[in-house]
Amino acid sequence: MAAITRQLDAGDAGLGQWLRADPAYVQADINAGRMLACGNLGLNFAETEALLKPLQPLFGDAGFPISAPVPERWYLQLPLGARLPAFADPEQALGDDLYDHLPQGTEGRQWRALLNEAQILLHNHPINAERRARGLLPANSVWFWGAGLLPDHVQMTAQQVLSDASDLAGLARLAGVDLGPARRGWAGEQSRSGSLLIDLRGLRDASVLEADWLLPALVCLAEGRFERLRLDFADGIGLVLTSRQHWRFWRRALGHWQHG
């Protein structure tokens, strides 16, 4: 994913192997350090540039130059032959004891040391002191994840994608699919040709999901503006509704039909 989003952000991912080193907020408690936020800390470009200055010699001397084409996504460029440990995605580590998700083994030792040194540099950074004084989360750590090379090709069944998420946007761009933001108040807009994928993973208000997305989609389905509506949920549940299903209340119960 690091290479995929790097290509979206900077267009140069084909130059090497990449690793995300996203800004993160870690809070220490009695028994552990817990990552409570990663990536979207509300940093601006000036803050990001200032935070990167002490990190650049740290990672540069290790052979992993750091850069941030956008404030919420930081990258390390790695040598093509670099042997890497397994890195945990942020979703796995959020809210948990960081120790359980750090890269392990001999290959992970260097990365644990780099993370520790980065945390020391960021903890003492004046930008973070200013952010704390304003009631904002400090970027007092980084989180390594998503290592790899840019894929040779990406295929996608959808012909148009509406998403504000960098992972899906990066994949859509590589697949040559039309890409746009997930606009609020969608009213059954169809793709110019073929299927349309709308990404609502970031939406947390159920009333907005219902009023602005689901109900308009069901109306358009009933009107025959499209033939099928597929809903995929994060817990693995999936539903497929077709334009003819609004007639199903005329059907007899299956058991009665079989014996009737």
| pLDDT(24) > 80 | yes
**Tokens representing 144?**
């390594």
Residues with Cβ within 8 Å of 154's Cβ and at least 6 positions away in sequence, in order, are 171, 174, 175
| pLDDT(12) > 50 | yes
| pLDDT(129) > 50 | yes
Distance, in Å, from the CA atom of 160 to the CA atom of 198, rounded to the nearest integer, reads: 9
DSSP letter for 94, please. B
Predicted confidence at residue 123, as pLDDT, reads 93
Distance, in Å, from the CA atom of 201 to the CA atom of 199, rounded to the nearest integer, reads: 6
Closest CA to 13 of 162, 180, 163, 146: 146
Which of these ranges, 157-161, 193-197, 223-227, 246-250, has the smallest mean pLDDT?
Answer: 246-250
Mean pLDDT, range 159-178, rounded to an integer? 90
Question: Domain segments of the chain: what residues?
Answer: 2-148, 160-250
Helix (H), strand (E) counts: the chain:
9, 10
Burial annotation 64-98 (CB, 10 A radius, 16+ → b, else e): bebbbbbbbbbbbbbeeeeebbebbebeebbeeeb
* Local confidence band at 193 (pLDDT 50, 70, 90 cut-offs): low
Mean pLDDT, range 156-185, rounded to an integer? 86
Please write the tens of the pLDDT for every residue from 41-96.
Answer: 999 999 999 999 999 999 999 999 999 999 999 999 999 888 899 999 999 999 98
Closest CA to 145 of 67, 84, 64: 84
Distance, in Å, from the CA atom of 123 to the CA atom of 81, rounded to the nearest integer, reads: 32
Residue 157 C-beta-side C-alpha neighbours within 13 Å: 3
Terminal C-alpha separation, the chain: 56
